[in-house]
Amino acid sequence: MARISLTPPRSLFLRFTEWYSKRSYGEVLDPVRALAHNPRVMRSDLRFEMSVARWNRLDEELKTLAVMATAASIGCSWCMDFGHWESRRQGMDARKVQDVPVWRESDAYSPLERDVMEYAEAMTANPPQVADELADRLVAALGEPAFVELTAMVAVENLRSRINSALGLTSQGFKDRCEIPVKPPTRTAAAR
């Protein structure tokens, strides 16, 4: 249950944002409703997200895996729900999307994809636990511009997932629309 009402004051800007959200995603996103309680925060977040959407140095599937691994590591059910739907809508392999929470046990990923997800988890740890060898492999495989973008994407997803989790936002039902079966993680948080 959300820790904040999802019925903010109905400003003109909110009505426009709701229209855009319905047009783009089929419904109004709960984070929009939550952030709309503070219009300056919502406007800043939307401008930031529009800027992030233009980043293009990192392969989109690698970016998606990094974002999903970050959300899974934090435990943001809203982000996992939306991420499943969005990645499937973009044509990503269903098995890769489904197996993100258990990527270490899955054979669906290439060595580079595994490194990307390991990096996302290492960056998300508190404090971050990025090994030099892992960073070196990623820089060699991706190049410095894409590595910087990967690092920034993991940080961005930390922001998203932590806001959504702290506000108590949970699954909004997006995943149900892409027919991906739920597969519970087999690892405990302490095992990471």
Question: Which tens digit of pLDDT belongs to each residue from 67-101?
Answer: 999 999 999 999 999 999 999 989 999 999 999 99
Which residue type is seen at 114?
A: R
Interatomic CA distance for residues 192 and 173, integer angstroms: 28
Average pLDDT over every residue of 171-182: 66
CATH of domain 60-191: 1.20.1290.10
Neighbour tally for 45: CB within 10 Å: 17
Interatomic CA distance for residues 16 and 84, integer angstroms: 26
Neighbour tally for 44: CB within 10 Å: 12
The pTM score is 0.89
Neighbour tally for 171: CB within 10 Å: 17
CA nearest 74: which of 129, 126, 148?
126
Query: What pLDDT is recorded for position 177?
Result: 64
**HEC string of 5-66?**
CCCCCCCHHHHHHHHHHHHHHCCCCHHHHHHCCCHHHHHHHHHHHHHHCCCCCCCHHHHHHH
Interatomic CA distance for residues 19 and 80, integer angstroms: 23
For the chain, which residues make up each domain, given as ranges? 12-52, 60-191
Say yes or no to pLDDT of 187 above 80: no
Say yes or no to pLDDT of 189 above 70: no
Query: What pLDDT is recorded for position 137?
Result: 98
Query: What pLDDT is recorded for position 10?
Result: 94
In the chain the first and final C-alpha atoms are separated, in Å, by: 27
N residues, the chain = 192
Question: Which tens digit of pLDDT belongs to each residue from 118-163?
Answer: 999 999 999 999 999 999 999 999 999 999 999 999 999 999 999 9
Interatomic CA distance for residues 183 and 22, integer angstroms: 28
CA quadruple 132, 134, 136, 138: dihedral positive or negative? Answer: negative
Token digits of residue 4: 């904040």
Say yes or no to pLDDT of 66 above 70: yes
Say yes or no to pLDDT of 190 above 90: no
